[in-house]
Chain A
Amino acid sequence: QITLKESGPTLVKPTQTLTLTCTFSGFSLSTSGVGVGWIRQPPGKALEWLALIYWDDDKRYSPSLKSRLTITKDTSKNQVVLTMTNMDPVDTATYYCAHYDSSGYYDYWGQGTLVTVSS
């Protein structure tokens, strides 16, 4: 079965760069149509889509955060990495990675990891 798990720091300081890793199993990121996305959710607030990387290394980013985000994949390790620069307290959120199915939806999600931005 498909599983995903996010990992990374739970606390970062303002202006620092956040690096999150999504380690997955049950599928290959070299399969046509497949992707892995990142979505975040500030405490008590709505979901916000961040980025998506496809099997062919095509990448899409949230227009409002594009300048701060980089998404990469390591197919051999079954990992996707998201980096976000210049972190601010408003970036405090639970960050989820999710499997993107070739039919065009996020059908499997990680448990999420809470990242707090504070000095």
Chain B
Amino acid sequence: QSVLTQPPSASGTPGQRVTISCSGSSSNIGSNYVYWYQQLPGTAPKLLIYRNNQRPSGVPDRFSGSKSGTSASLAISGLRSEDEADYYCAAWDDSLSGHWVFGGGTKLTVL
């Protein structure tokens, strides 16, 4: 059972906007940045969003992140078929000498 809670699945049609939530606690999301990773089938995860809402170079601005309190969200606008992937949130957790925690992942299906 993952420390960060994500919905197991999400879906949308091409062009739609979808959001994926990530819920944590005061020791992780509540006091540290949130990161989002995209994992396409059979590949390694790719950094999508860092420090809550920053995009690495090369990531389209269709992807955006936000954080409020102990929760965070990833939004994907103008949904495309190639966005079908697993999405994971992550954060540093200050408890127990400090460690990273990941969400359980959300499988995004483009209908």
Q: Check A104 for interface membership: any CB of B closer than 8 A.
A: yes
- The answer to whether B99 touches A60, judged by C-beta atoms less than 8 angstroms apart, is yes
Interface string of B1-22 (1 = CB under 8 A from A): 0100000000000000000000
CB-CB under 8 A from A49, the residues of chain B are: 90, 99-102
Query: Do A52 and B100 have beta carbons less than 8 Å apart?
Result: yes
CA distance A97 to B34 in the complex (A): 20
Which bracket fits the contact residues of B? Answer: 20 to 34
A96 within 8 A of B: yes
| Total contacts A-B at CB 8 Å | 58
Q: What are the residues of chain B within 8 A of A61 when measuring CB–CB?
A: 99
Q: In whole Å, how far is A86's beta carbon from the nearest beta carbon of chain B?
A: 20
Q: Is the CB of A48 within 8 A of B102?
A: yes
Beta-carbon contacts of B71-111 to A below 8 Å, as 1s and 0s? 00000000000000000101010011111111111000000
Bound-complex Cα distance A107 to B96 (A): 25
Interface residues of B (CB under 8 A from A): 2, 33, 35, 37, 39, 44-47, 50-51, 56, 88, 90, 92, 95-105
Q: A96-B45, A104-B92 are in contact. List 9 more A-B contacts (CB 8 A).
A: A46-B105, A47-B105, A61-B99, A63-B95, A103-B50, A106-B45, A109-B45, A110-B44, A112-B44
